[in-house]
Each structure stands twice: as structure tokens, then as C-alpha cells.
Structure 1
Amino acid sequence: MSAFDELFAQHAATAYARQLALADLIGERDWQLDLTEGVATFGGDLRFPIQLLGTESHVDGSWLWAWANAVSNLPPQLLHLSEWMRSYGSSSSIPELTEPSFPLDRADGAHLALIASGLTGRCYYRGPYDGGAVFFHLENLPAEIVAPVSPERAFLVVGQVIGAFPLDHRITLLSFLDQQGWSVSDNTPALVVGTHPGGSEMRVEFDDQNRMARISGQVN
């Protein structure tokens, strides 16, 4: 497993949980991005400061980090996050975080944005435009957006993130339970049992390929 894949598995589920909470907040609102002011607005009532991450080009199928986008003359104050990710990638020897651009089939915006969310506690938004999409992270969100999720949603998140991305199931599950404040009372090749502080229990059975085969439990 590459360092990038391991990092993604460690942070995908908690970051995904934050994205679900953000979707609940934004709903069907339209979005607008003001690079001069450094803010994103959603509908007429939501407004958040932003940090730019990068862009996907659907013309050539590539990713471009915001710090490497010299052509667009982006405001330096909006590049702190992408530059921090570059520094993290350099210190952790993860080339996907340090190379200016690469094909999307190597790492797309969703993977990169989820990692950034997991590492920094932010949420991201994917803003589509003709020929591509811009990925930016939102700041000053309501506390409940980034708070640990309810046990009910934890079950939902685990099932959805495993279905949505190819990743290491065990690393993903154990990282998520730890980040969400669950204790692990059993961790064997065939079974992981997590217990929420409120008493809810999640039992995850694994097959001989170390993939999740069945999720069960109880919610209190």
C-alpha cells in the first residue's frame, strides 16, 4: 500500500462524515465564489471564508494544485491550505501532495480534498464549471458540522465510504472509530467490535481478504 493510499484510508470516513453534515446544511442552495474577498456564498444566507485546494480539468483529465496555478494569479492568502498540504507531503514523502499536476486516475479532487479535510478538520466544496471543477475548503463552519457524528450516522458513513472508494477496509474502520471517540473492544482478523461512549455497539465482520463482509450492532 502506498503512503497516499494509507493516508486516504485513515481519513476518508471522518472527512466523509463531515461532508454529509455539510450537505445537510447547504441543501439545494446555489453557490458563488468570490476570490477577491475570499468567500463562498450559498443561497442568500450562508457565507464562509475559503481556502483553495486545486482544480480538476475534464479536458485533459488532470489535477492542478492551487499553489501551482500561476496562470490564474490567485490571491496568496487563499493558498495557505494548498501550501500546507505541499509541506505535509514533502515531510511525509507523499508525491501526490507535492507534484504540481498529475492525471486524475492517479488521484482526483475528491480523494485529495477528503485527505485535506481529515488532516485539518475542514469541509470542502466541489464547484463545477465548464470544463472542470474547483475544490475549496470552508472555514468558520458551525461546530456541529465537524463534531463527531451520531451512532446512527456512523453506521451510514461506514457503509457508504466503503462502497464509494477502493480503500483498506480495516484501516478505514479502525481510524474512523478512534477519531469519532469509539473504543475498540475486539480486533481480530474476522471481527472488529466498537463501542460508543453512549453504549451503542458496532460489529464488523471481515472476510478472508480483509474486506468488510457484514456490519451489525445496536444503537442506544
Structure 2
Amino acid sequence: MSSFDDLFAQHVATGMARQLALADLLGERGWQLDLNAGLVTFGADLRYTIQMIGTESHSDGTWLWAWANTGGNIDPSLLELAGWLREHGRLYGVREFTEPSLRLDRVDGHRIALVASGLTGRPYYRGTYNGGAIFFHLENLPARVRGAVPPEKTFTVLGQVLQAFAVDHRTVVVSFLQQQGWRVDDAAHGVIGRHGDGSQLRVTFDHLGRVSDMTGQLQPR
């Protein structure tokens, strides 16, 4: 796998968990972005500062990093996290973080933003417009969005990720449980996760490394 594929497998589940929590928070609210102020408003009651990630162009099928959008007149203060991701890419050899533009059939905005969410601890929003989509991090969100998911939602997150993406299943399971604060026993026959509240999760894999069984015992709340 490439360095980006490795990072994706390590961070996609935690990134997805934050996106599901964000969707619960936002509900059906519309969005309005004010780049001059560096703010996004959802409905009439939610407002957050942002950090730009990048944009998708549906006309030419490309991704453009915000730090490479020289014609966008983006305030440098909104590019700090994108710049950090570029430096992370330089340090660890992740070309997808250092190339200004990428074809969407190679890696799309959701995949980039999910990895970015895992690395930075911030959820992201994808806002569509005529001809493309804009991606940005949201700052200062409630702890229920940024924090660890409850044990009962662990099955949901892992199930959605493993169905949606072609990833190394063991890497996804082990990384997600560790990032969510579970104690993990990773053995040849499978993975056992133990949560601080007493909940347990057992995952076994087939000969191709895919999840073959996932069972658990959750503590009542």
C-alpha cells in the first residue's frame, strides 16, 4: 500500500465516527459560508470558525488543495491546518498531501478529509456548489462530536467503514479501537478490545484478512 493508503486505513474509522456525530448535530440545517470572516453558519443557531482543506472540481475531475488555490484570495489564517498537512506529507512521504492537485479517480475529497480529520482531530464539512464542492474543517465543536464514540456505536462505525471502503480490515479495527481508548489484544486468531466501562469486542478474520465475525458485550447504561 502507499503511505496514503496506510494513513487512510489507520484514520478512516475515527474520521467517520466524527462525521456521523457531526451529521447528528447539524440535522437538516442549510449552510452558509463566509470566507472573509472565516465562519460557517448552519441554520439560524449554529456558527463555527473554519480551516480550509480544498475543493473538488466536477468539470475536470480534480482535487485542489486550499494552499495551492492561488486565485482564491484565501486569508492565510484559514490555511494553517492545510499547511500543516502539507508539511506532514513532506515529512512522511505522503505525496497526496504535497501535490497541489490530484485527479478524483486517484483520491477524492472525502478520502483526503477523512484522513485529515483523523490527524487533526477535527470533523469536516463538504459543501456543494455549481460545478464542485468545498471542504473545510470545523473548529470549536461540542465534545460529543470531537470526542470518543460510545461503545455501542463502535459496531456501527466499523460496519459502515468496512462496507464502504477497500481497506485493510485489521488495521482499521486495531487503529480505531486504540484511538477510541480501548485496550487492544491483537493476536493471530483475531482482535479483542476491552473498553474502560467493561464492554468487550471480539473480531475474527478470514484467510484473506477480512472481518469474518464481530461480536461483543456492551455494559448497560
- TM-score of the superposed pair, with normalisation by structure 2: 0.97
| Stretch deviating more after TM superposition (30-39 or 191-200) | 191-200
Per-residue CA deviation, residues 10-63 of structure 1 (Å, 9 max, x unaligned), is 111111101111111000000010000000000000000000000011111100
Indicate whether 1:209 and 2:185 are aligned: no
Show the counterpart of 1:6. Answer: 6
Show the counterpart of 1:84. Answer: 84
Q: Distance in 2 between matches of 1:62 and 1:190?
A: 42
Q: Secondary structure at the match of 2:48?
A: strand
Runs of 4+ displaced beyond 4 Å:
none
Per-residue CA deviation, residues 109-132 of structure 1 (Å, 9 max, x unaligned), is 011101111111100000001111
Q: Secondary structure at the match of 1:181?
A: coil
Q: Secondary structure at the match of 1:44?
A: coil
Q: Distance in 1 between matches of 2:158 and 2:198?
A: 18
Aligned CA-pair RMSD = 0.9
Q: Secondary structure at the match of 1:49?
A: strand
Q: Distance in 1 between matches of 2:212 and 2:103?
A: 32
Q: Secondary structure at the match of 1:148?
A: coil
Using the aligned pairs only, state the percent identity: 58
Q: Distance in 1 between matches of 2:60 and 2:47?
A: 32
Q: Distance in 2 between matches of 1:93 and 1:39?
A: 32
Aligned partner of 1:112: which letter? I
Cα offset, 1:196, TM superposition: 0.9
Per-residue CA deviation, residues 71-126 of structure 1 (Å, 9 max, x unaligned), is 11111111111111111100111110000001011111011101111111100000
Q: Distance in 1 between matches of 2:21 and 2:155?
A: 14
Structure 2 unmatched runs, 5+: none
Q: Distance in 1 between matches of 2:141 and 2:90?
A: 29
| Stretch deviating more after TM superposition (122-131 or 187-196) | 187-196
Q: Secondary structure at the match of 1:128?
A: strand
Show the counterpart of 2:108. Answer: 108
Aligned partner of 1:30: which letter? G
Q: Is the 8 A contact 1:189 1:206 kept in 2?
A: no
Cα offset, 1:190, TM superposition: 3.2
Aligned partner of 1:119: which letter? L
Show the counterpart of 2:153. Answer: 153
Q: Is the 8 A contact 1:17 1:157 kept in 2?
A: yes
After superposition, where does 1:37-76 map in structure 2 within 5 Å? 37-76=37-76
- TM-score of the superposed pair, with normalisation by structure 1: 0.97
